[in-house]
Amino acid sequence: MSRTFEENLALYAKLAVTEGVALAPGQELLVFAELTSAPLARLIAREAYRQGAKNVEVLYTDPDLTLARYEDGSDEAVEYAPQWLIDGVANAHRENAARLGILSSDPALLSSVVPERVATQSKAQGAARRIISEIITGFEINWSLIGAASPAWASRVFPNLPTDEAERRLWDAIFLTSRIHEADPVAAWRTHSENLEARVTMLDEMKLDALHFRGPGTDLRVGLADGHVWAGGRGRARNGILCSPNIPTEEVFCMPHRDRVDGVVSSTMPLSLRGQIIDGIQVEFVNGAAVNVRAKQGEEAFAKLIATDESANRLGEVALVPHSSKVGQSGVLFLNTLYDENAASHIAFGASYGENLSGYDTMSPEERVAKGANDSIVHVDWMIGSGQVDVDGVLRDGSVVPLMRAGEWV
């Protein structure tokens, strides 16, 4: 399949609108994009208008303005988040606006900023944006995240290549993992989604009590929430629309029980967190809480993250991904969780997803917690799977079913 870059980009825009957010005719679409992603954002806007969008509002973000706050702003500026803008966006979602995020940030943008300032600003943003997090984790509206190569991101992924060559290579990896290289990308994406959804059905039917991860530096038992529901592929938002929240996605994921995670676990890939690289994480869990946290790189930032609020040191997600997924096959370390979490099984500190709990919508917050749900303003995935990690399913009666061996589905 030999297409020009422009043809691939147009197909990618079409996939994002058709399968990503699955925009309904007459619906409003909010797009969040860095300035460098303007060419893609424009294609998406035109595709959305052709599909009947009532409005496409692109809210451009500028990484240099993020840096300006840290480098030239007062303490007051670092403690501030624009609630008026966040509330406006929340109001749009309440009126059923869909949401598409285009990720292209420099994974190490904030590497030279004092960690305290980053933590302070992140906490202020997290608190102000809680209203948005709830809309997303509660799956109130159809939403999707996709990626777009930027010079800054590409140069971190391919540090030895000239910038334009690095950008081309990163776009190739994005197109490959998003099935844009297929003859009919939209159809290929739908088939892939259906395969993931079949895996979800199978896991739900097993009615597992826990997952058990074993590998180098890892012996972790993750109890699953009472009434947990596996998810993966597309999901149906509460506004009735079946969308693909992540493109790409290779995971099936579930809700851990916030109090029933025990053992030790080691990360298998670095991650970019709030503009800083974190690597070589080792965590010990007791009764669901992380009690001992180390990292070879970025330990301070990681420790601050899981101290953000009372429940940020407990798990909100556990996900299984075969090592041979399209992302794993690409051989690229993207330094962006949207991609890297699809190269390996992973867990996430922080908020759990409502869709992973049966009857979530009709429960009180206390009932949700009693079932094992976790409530936090953060949600940070990190990779714990590899070609050396085995995963067993543990049934209610204590018997064990092998799920993955050497990183692949049994």
Site for a copy of itself, rule CB under 8 A: 26, 28, 35, 38, 41-42, 45-46, 49-50, 52-60, 62, 64-65, 68-69, 71-74, 76-77, 80, 82, 84-85, 87-89, 91-92, 95, 97
- Identity of the residue, 83 or 282, whose beta carbon is nearer to a copy of itself in the bound complex: 83
- Identity of the residue, 35 or 186, whose beta carbon is nearer to a copy of itself in the bound complex: 35
Cα distance between residue 13 and residue 10, in whole Å: 5
Cα distance between residue 120 and residue 116, in whole Å: 6
Q: Name the minimum Å distance from CB 71 to a copy of itself.
A: 8
Q: Name the minimum Å distance from CB 3 to a copy of itself.
A: 22
Contact 88, 240 (CB under 8 A): no
Q: Which residue do the tokens 């990163």 mark? A: 170
Q: Name the minimum Å distance from CB 276 to a copy of itself.
A: 21
- Identity of the residue, 59 or 286, whose beta carbon is nearer to a copy of itself in the bound complex: 59
Omega before residue 248 within 30° of 0, cis: yes
Spell 260-288 as b/e; 16+ CB within 10 A means b.
bbbbebbbbbbbbbbbbbbeebbbebeeb
Count helices and strands in the chain by DSSP H and E runs: 14, 20
Q: Name the minimum Å distance from CB 40 to a copy of itself.
A: 12
CA dihedral 148→152→154→157, nearest 10 degrees, is: -120
CA neighbours closer than 13 Å in the CB half-sphere of residue 333: 14
Q: Name the minimum Å distance from CB 9 to a copy of itself.
A: 14
DSSP state of 355: G
- Identity of the residue, 64 or 366, whose beta carbon is nearer to a copy of itself in the bound complex: 64
- Identity of the residue, 78 or 389, whose beta carbon is nearer to a copy of itself in the bound complex: 78
Q: Name the minimum Å distance from CB 125 to a copy of itself.
A: 12
Task: Give the type of residue at 284.
Answer: E
- Identity of the residue, 73 or 115, whose beta carbon is nearer to a copy of itself in the bound complex: 73
- As beta bridge partners, residue 379 has 350
Question: What tokens does 126 get?
Answer: 């997290």
Contact 296, 310 (CB under 8 A): no
Q: Name the minimum Å distance from CB 102 to a copy of itself.
A: 13
Q: What does the DSSP assignment read for 302-322?
A: HHHHTTSSTTTTSEEEEEE--
CB neighbours of 148 closer than 8 A, spacing ≥ 6? Answer: 33, 34, 36, 37, 40, 102, 103, 104, 174
Going from the C-alpha of 11 to that of each of 8, 47, 268, 404, the distances in angstroms are: 5, 10, 33, 34
- Identity of the residue, 129 or 346, whose beta carbon is nearer to a copy of itself in the bound complex: 129
Q: Name the minimum Å distance from CB 90 to a copy of itself.
A: 8
- Identity of the residue, 101 or 354, whose beta carbon is nearer to a copy of itself in the bound complex: 101
- Identity of the residue, 132 or 395, whose beta carbon is nearer to a copy of itself in the bound complex: 132
- Identity of the residue, 48 or 305, whose beta carbon is nearer to a copy of itself in the bound complex: 48
Q: Name the minimum Å distance from CB 114 to a copy of itself.
A: 15
Q: Which residue do the tokens 């997290």 mark? A: 126
Q: Name the minimum Å distance from CB 56 to a copy of itself.
A: 7
